Amino acid sequence: MKRFVILLVGLLIIGAALGLGAWQTGRWSPFGDTAAGKDGKKEASKDGKAGKGSRPATVVRTAKVEIAPMPVVIDVVGTIESEHVVAVRPQVSGLLTQVMVKEGDRVNSGQVMFRIDSRSFDASVNQARAAVARDQANLELARANERRLKPLLDRDFITRAEYETVVANVAALEAQVASNKAQLEQAQVQLDYTYIRATIDGRLGALSVRAGNLVSASTGSTSVPLVTINRTNPVLVSFNVAQETLPAVRRFQSSGELNVQVLREQGQEVLAQGKLVFIDNAVNAQTGTIIMKARLVNDKETLWPGQFVAVRIVLTTEPEAVVIPEAAVQPGQQGSFVYVFQPGEGDAPGRARVQPVKIDRQLGDRVVIASGLKGGELVITEVPPGLSPGSPVRLPGKGDGKGAGRKGGEGKGTESKGGAAAEPAPGKGADAPKAGKAADGAAPERKGEPQK
């Protein structure tokens, strides 16, 4: 019994001595952290491979800053107008017996569109023609009498007064015949008005009357036309331009005709092109704008009168403009800027550098830069969330974006270099286990083994 107590006391003394020695040398801490562990974490942080401060490079897409010829333009909104509009109204009153066209038809000049009951006008023509024939017969008789009396006057068988009466009668009948012929022409014109024809080439609008209605020859402002014809080729585009741009327009117009383009929408396809043909002679004092017009060829009738369109006046062409995609321009409190990709040295990742820019103009999805870029730089077009100046970035690699959603949860990554872990491909498969080669001194992971 004494031996057991002595042995137990001895073991306790030895354990206390060992614990005291370990505590004094710093190899054991009552808080569970050893000094060696702290030193190891510091060394790992300094090495940069396992520390918390390391940040992987972000994959970005870039575009090269181009030097290309770009037009100098003025973009406004305009309205398509018909160059020639005709409101068709009847010139005689009567019953509308025939409508020979349909709404929306394309008509040619001289084509008959409507017919009015012409029986009364036929009668007037026949009456005028008969009057002409009667007076013509009387004129021939008077001329015959003049020819018979002329020898008698020479022999003094009749007086000069009698002969002059016959001559005056001939002149009166000649005037009567001329008057009747004029009445005949008038009756024929009225008859021709019963055939209502198109006076220009164009396209018809809506019909206001149908066959069987009485139409009137009224030409007042309250009269409703039978139909309206719009000439659709060529057409005019009318637009308002700010008075500040008038000097530039006139300067470039003096050196040649200015091209005008009509677009479906801002920056979209060109529907038609033409020349500037009209500048108004006064500026609107209320709006500070001036009206201009251009004539456009519209063979396929892609433009319609009354249609709102985007208008682009091409003043000149800048031969060497600095051009970047619109997506690369970012708004900022101090103005617009772009992220420029700054390549790294060797295997080091690149950096995102902020470059302020001044925008001159925009044409579609391309932006012309006035200052800030010289050409040849790489600008980031798809800015990822959280990108900041100096952030590590890299261009897309061969396997980027291909490992997302693979069967079994595997993601295809890039092979690691220099002992660094392989970086997963961006996308939904970023959390999938890596299947690349093992890093130096590290045990390889088995393919398909779930990540712990």
Give the CATH number, domain containing residue 155: 1.10.287
Counting the structural domains of the chain, the total is: 4
Q: Provide, rounded to the nearest whole percent, the portion of the chain with pLDDT above 70.
A: 76
Whether the per-residue pLDDT at 194 is higher than 80: the answer is yes
Same domain, 235 and 284: yes
Section 24-36 average pLDDT: 42
CATH of the domain at 346: 2.40.420.20
CA distances from 74 to 244, 266, 280, 361 (A): 12, 12, 17, 10
pTM here?
A: 0.60
Q: Which of 298, 318, 338 is the last residue of a domain?
A: 318
pLDDT above 90 as % of the chain: 50
pLDDT of 449 over the 50 cut: no
The last residue of a domain, from among 344, 377, 394: 394
Q: Give the Å distances, CA to CA, from 129 to 20, 123, 179.
A: 148, 10, 11
Q: Are residues 202 and 172 part of one domain?
A: no
Based on the domain organization, do 107 and 225 belong to the same domain? yes
Q: Say whether both 78 and 158 belong to one domain.
A: no
Claim to verify: residue 92 and residue 202 sit in the same structural domain:
yes
In a domain, 294, yes or no: yes
Question: Cα(348)–Cα(352) distance, rounded to whole angstroms?
Answer: 13
Shared-domain flag, residues 330 and 385: yes
Structural domain containing residue 325: 59-70+320-394
Kindly state whether residues 106 and 123 are assigned to the same domain: no
**Is 35 domain-assigned?**
no
Residue 339: per-residue pLDDT: 93
Top pLDDT among 411 and 108 is at: 108
Report which DSSP code applies to 418: T
Q: Are 130 and 201 in the same domain?
A: no
- The stretches of 199-334 forming alpha helices (DSSP H) are 246-254
Mark whether 312 and 205 lie in a shared domain: no
Give the C-alpha distances (Å, rounded to integers) separating 214 from 93, 121, 187, 196, 450: 7, 16, 20, 14, 91
**CA separation, residue 76 to residues 27, 79, 240, 313, 314 (Å):** 80, 10, 7, 8, 12
- Across the beta sheet with 195-197, the strand order is 195-197, 112-116, 94-99, 214-215
250/263 same-domain check: yes
Query: Among 434, 427, 308, 327, which residue's Cα sits nearest to residue 381?
Result: 327
